[in-house]
Structure 1
Amino acid sequence: MKPNQLITSHVDIHRFSFPMREEQAVQLILARLASATIGRLLNEQQRACNLLTLAGAVAIVPPLENISSMMLAESITSRNIDSDIRRLVDQPYVEGKCLSCACPSVPSTIFQEDPIEPKTGIKFPTFLEDDSSPSAAVLVGIGFKGMRVMRVKNLNLYAFGLYMQPTSIREKLGPKYASFPTDKLMENPDFYSDLLRENLDIRVRLVVNYNGLSVGAVRDVFEKSLGLRLQKMNPNTDFHCLKTFGSHFTEDIAIPSGTKIDFCQTSDGKLITEIDGKQIGAVRSKDLCKAFFDMYIGDSPVSLEAKKVVAQNVAGLIGRR
């Protein structure tokens, strides 16, 4: 192709409102080529800077095995750092599944099948006991506890599931709240207070998802968090119950990934601790029970979203027969 044809093929001289000489057209083409080349170079430079920044951030994050056990444990009872908290249950309230037992006292469930906590991939059983038992504890919500290291790495420390007995809920909370619309109930602070005050049969199951936790660090942070909540709830409480609770977590107990730690509140105000189905201790203290479950359904919970899901599901169980 001749030079004149090249110019004509790239520049339509008739687009301009003034005559253009061929030399001007060539200059225009060269200017556009230079501008495009500079733009590509700037984009490549920006991408390179971003990669270097990310590499530097990753480089200063300590290896996971070097993260202190106390740093990990401190986040066990504190609220999730992530601002983008994913919904903990895709369908927080669904129709109860049809149970094989026709006994009307058998509790219905809010889950059609055993749900999986999405952040950790840990599955929780809908019932902790035989689902034909009227006293079977039913899963009312799941969540996870995570922490962020240097704003780069995310560690999912454990998943948790909260269980309640529908019969107990209806008997103790039904007369007061059965007529409340669910959305109003979820915004009612008295409802959350009554969930803690009525000494319901409640159980929370923690499933460890990270291998770097030690039982000693977990014990220390539980004692610290519970001590602060006890002081706020009842400054005159007998804090000896807290030391008794902490003494159950002896150094010979291992809690690798997959370990199940259950905390069960009985209707007479006893807090029972089990690890992988084996009871390691029990403390009779209504104040301690209230302070412990306050971490999950009270003020400043581990997961605010999980607290809302639990309230929605409990409201559904109150109104069901």
Structure 2
Amino acid sequence: MATIVEGVVMKEELNVEPQEKKTEGKVEEVKDKVAEKIEKKIEEMKIKDDVKEENVAVQIEPKTGVSFPVKLADGKELNSTGLRKKSVLGIGVKIYGFGMYADNLKLKELLKSKISKIPEKPTKEMYQLVIDSDVGAMVRLVIVFGGLSMSMVRKNFDEGLGASLKKLTGGQKNEELVNRVMGAASDSIKLTSGSVIEIARLPGFILQTKVKGEVVSKVESELLCRAYFHMYLGDDPFDKEAKERFGVSMLSLL
């Protein structure tokens, strides 16, 4: 795949003035641009391959334009999409679009076993059931802010997941547990726009993290699983509208 993409990108990038190619600095600049475009195109093709394999429709996250397949190869279904923003110097910066997936058959069984009367609107109890349960679920993050590094992502997790753990434990941040989420992911990994990170809850309360298709950690911890999904479905979620859409999806299962 990389060879094909490289040929396409090189053809685009090498269409420069001859005098520019004589300068070593310009050559290095072209090489960097080629490498970045190759990486981005590979990520785009991986996403397209996921969709093509399942031959399913996609849903577009409107604030970022990121597309998410409505069903994954393992059967998990898309229940909501949203946007993660960070405030930098008072300006809201778009970091990644995300899609929240779940094993809806098991989620339906869980909801029906715990909720006797269907509510008019999603309830806190419904969200808490998802947070506390062992039902298979996954959040796919697609980077939209170019130039992110793994060290920046680690810092983001330290803040978000650390705060979530403190809420659930009554004040204990548990840095060691947070640091295990990104596991063996090298800080040198470049996360260009379109890069994908997938964090899934597997049976047995195992939180698995994939960075650009590679498994970087598997952490068995009920507390960590609960804290992670609490960031998206808890009282102070990353994207309130995304949480509400997930709630509406749960109601449809009932």
After TM superposition, the score normalised by the length of structure 1 is: 0.57
Go from structure 1 to structure 2 and tell me whether the alpha carbon gap of 1:284 and 1:228 turns closer, same or farther (over 3 Å shift): same
Go from structure 1 to structure 2 and tell me whether the alpha carbon gap of 1:198 and 1:219 turns closer, same or farther (over 3 Å shift): same
User: Which of 181, 187, 199 in structure 2 is aligned with 1:263?
Assistant: 199
**1:234: how far off?**
2.1
Go from structure 1 to structure 2 and tell me whether the alpha carbon gap of 1:239 and 1:148 turns closer, same or farther (over 3 Å shift): closer
Go from structure 1 to structure 2 and tell me whether the alpha carbon gap of 1:237 and 1:120 turns closer, same or farther (over 3 Å shift): closer
Q: Mind listing any 5+ residue stretches in structure 2 that lack a counterpart?
A: 1-55
Q: Secondary structure at the match of 2:97?
A: strand
What letter is aligned with 1:138?
E
Q: Counterparts of 1:238 and 1:119 in 2: how far apart (Å)?
A: 33
Residue 80 of structure 2 corresponds to which residue in structure 1? Answer: 141
**1:125: how far off?**
0.3
Q: Counterparts of 2:237 and 2:226 in 1: how far apart (Å)?
A: 13
Q: Mind listing any 5+ residue stretches in structure 1 that lack a counterpart?
A: 1-111, 130-134
**1:276: how far off?**
2.2
Residue 30 of structure 2 corresponds to which residue in structure 1? Answer: none
State whether structure 2 residue 120 is matched by structure 1 residue 212: no
Go from structure 1 to structure 2 and tell me whether the alpha carbon gap of 1:149 and 1:251 turns closer, same or farther (over 3 Å shift): closer
After TM superposition, the score normalised by the length of structure 2 is: 0.71
What letter is aligned with 2:109?
E
Residue 209 of structure 2 corresponds to which residue in structure 1? Answer: 273
**1:292: how far off?**
0.8
> Which of the pair is proportionally richer in strand?
2
**1:249: how far off?**
3.3
Q: Secondary structure at the match of 1:245?
A: coil
Equivalences, count: 198
Task: Give CA deviations for 1:44-89 in whole Å, capped at 9, x if unaligned.
Answer: xxxxxxxxxxxxxxxxxxxxxxxxxxxxxxxxxxxxxxxxxxxxxx
Point out 4+ residue stretches in structure 1 off by more than 6 angstroms.
none
What letter is aligned with 2:114?
K
Report if the CA contact (8 A) 2:83-2:239 is conserved.
yes
Go from structure 1 to structure 2 and tell me whether the alpha carbon gap of 1:159 and 1:238 turns closer, same or farther (over 3 Å shift): closer
What letter is aligned with 1:243?
N
Residue 300 of structure 1 corresponds to which residue in structure 2? Answer: 236
Report if the CA contact (8 A) 2:148-2:192 is conserved.
yes
**Root mean square deviation of aligned Cα:** 2.2
User: Which of 250, 254, 273 in structure 1 is aligned with 2:186?
Assistant: 250
Report if the CA contact (8 A) 2:183-2:216 is conserved.
no
